[in-house]
Structure 1
């Protein structure tokens, strides 16, 4: 592997959704800490959905929605600045519905953070429809903020690795570990049940498959070390009968889990795989989903995002 193939990524600004729920407030504070670690700015986004509401609501109602959104953003920004006084914080009052508002504010290079439960959630374990829509359809990384955000840092960031194709996003996981001043633990789950009844049904063949998986992980780790030579990169192959179960258990002892989102079939709706779906609903720490083909680089402040709310374009008196 060559460092000419792998580049050291630049982590972008953080965009976080604000809806007044406790999970969103916790996500905003976690996102502020993440932006501070990255040395980037934080965008607080409240999607007022006034474009849609304008079809049935009167001007007074729209104005009240905008005012409530501004108050929510201001209160959240005050809470963030109290903890991170030097952090650059902007407020975006979007006229779009929540998924479009968050993705528009992130642009091509930002990272979207969402709480693990919105105002419409039924259970503390369940991710709201907005979070699912963002995680499944975003073209930039999405972090679902889960777990106890006040627990001490573990000094570990985990990359959930499936195969050699994950090399395209592993440098981003390494960049996260570098920002967290943590080791990168690359975990691959070898599930023997997936080979039962296949051509690798003999024990010797299964041992060969396991050895090949270990060799692949070491090769991937070597590639990451070329980009981050001073980082601690630890490849690890776990055995178990449930890949989601092993990763969920691993999430108890790490600060962040990073994983790639699989490519969807031509014409298919955006969706999450089984493992990603399980992690964003049940992990004990934040989970970062990296979309296929995402390329990081010099974001130049990521000025390509939808920042209409920064200039308060919602306040122009239009319904």
Structure 2
């Protein structure tokens, strides 16, 4: 371990293990992340055997738990072979996966999940466990997307929507420091169909960018002040699709960090439109930072 946990301000890494190829990719990513942090890696397998399922016999429950233990042992062995100094702990949970992962992460851990599970709905872009964990997140959640062996691009990307995203940018800065790469702050805003027309020019279309420039400058100045040894690149971009621009930018990032928001008007945990799009379509792992304070109910 490299002993960076205290400096990074990041807790232990918790990852779901279910035997699927997507979970294997997530475990590989999580192990590397824990090694970078100098923190513990917690492998969690949830059997969900405490659910009232009448057609499961006691023998089947025992076999399920035994298979879970064996899967955890194999996974831990594979990880220790690649990261011999990494502290790896295992948790076999009888409850459902989302709650088991949240309990293992407690108040400071980061939950890592694959973008697909073992479910039979191949049309789903994000597995049900990943969706539920992300929607109800109270600690950071990483959905591992992209290639199983991604090519490093040498940058961490943070999506900045307003000044309240400074917490998201701060988390991204810590991740960039761990990787010793620059941090890119990207602020994207929508433009209407009239942009580029004579009417827009007469009405000072360029002036519409000023509040967005202020947002980006406010966040970037704060991050540069807090992280003086980090290279911070700030970029503003206008376009017709904010999520589309961010998905495109994820091609050139090792990790995309975004502040989580929930859609208003719904009962229970939900995800905003931009957040959900990135979790479904980004080309690199996406880290969702739960957003606190005003603006938490934004539809983005």
TM-score by length of structure 2 reads: 0.88
Superposed CA RMSD in Å reads: 2.2
Tell me what 2:225 maps to: 226
In the superposition, relative to structure 1, how do residues 113 and 208 fare at CA in structure 2: closer, same or farther (>3 Å)? Answer: same
1:218-239 Cα deviation digits (max 9, x unpaired) = 2211101111111011110112
C-alpha separation in 2, matches of 1:280 and 1:217: 23
Contact (CA 8 Å) 1:251, 1:283: kept in 2 or not? yes
Q: Is the 8 A contact 1:116 1:125 kept in 2?
A: no
Q: What secondary structure, in the 3-state scheme, does the structure 1 residue paired with 2:62 have?
A: helix
Decide which moves more: 47-56 or 279-288.
47-56
In structure 1, the gaps of 5 or more residues are 1-7, 295-319
Deviation readout 1:185-225 (Å, 9 max, x if unpaired): 000112112997xxx96654431121221232122111011
Q: TM-score, normalised by structure 1?
A: 0.83
CA contact (8 A) 1:189 1:243 kept: yes
- By how many angstroms is 1:168 displaced? 2.8
Would you say 1:193 and 2:192 are equivalent positions? yes
- Larger RCO, structures 1/2 (Cα 8 Å, 6+ apart): 1
After superposing the two structures, state which structure 1 stretch, 163-172 or 187-196, moved more: 187-196
- Partners of 1:16 and 1:113 within 8 A in 2: yes
Distance 1:125 1:250, change over 3 A: farther
Q: Is the 8 A contact 2:156 2:175 kept in 1?
A: yes
| Structure 1 counterpart of 2:102 | 103
- Give the drift of 1:121: 5.1
Q: 1:269 corresponds to which residue?
A: 268
2:13 is matched with 14
Deviations 1:266-288 (A, max 9, x none): 87311111111111111110000
> Is 1:283 the counterpart of 2:260 in the alignment?
no
The answer on whether the counterparts of 1:121 and 1:128 sit within 8 Å (CA) in structure 2 is: no
Alignment of 1:108-119 (within 5 A): 108-119=107-118
Unmatched segments (≥5 aa) in structure 2? 1-6, 294-300
Please state how far the C-alpha of 1:123 moved relative to its aligned partner.
3.8
Could you tell me which residue of structure 1 aligns to residue 165 of structure 2?
A: 166
Tell me, in whole angstroms, the C-alpha distance in 1 between the residues paired with 2:261 and 2:194.
21
SS of corresponding position for 2:66:
helix
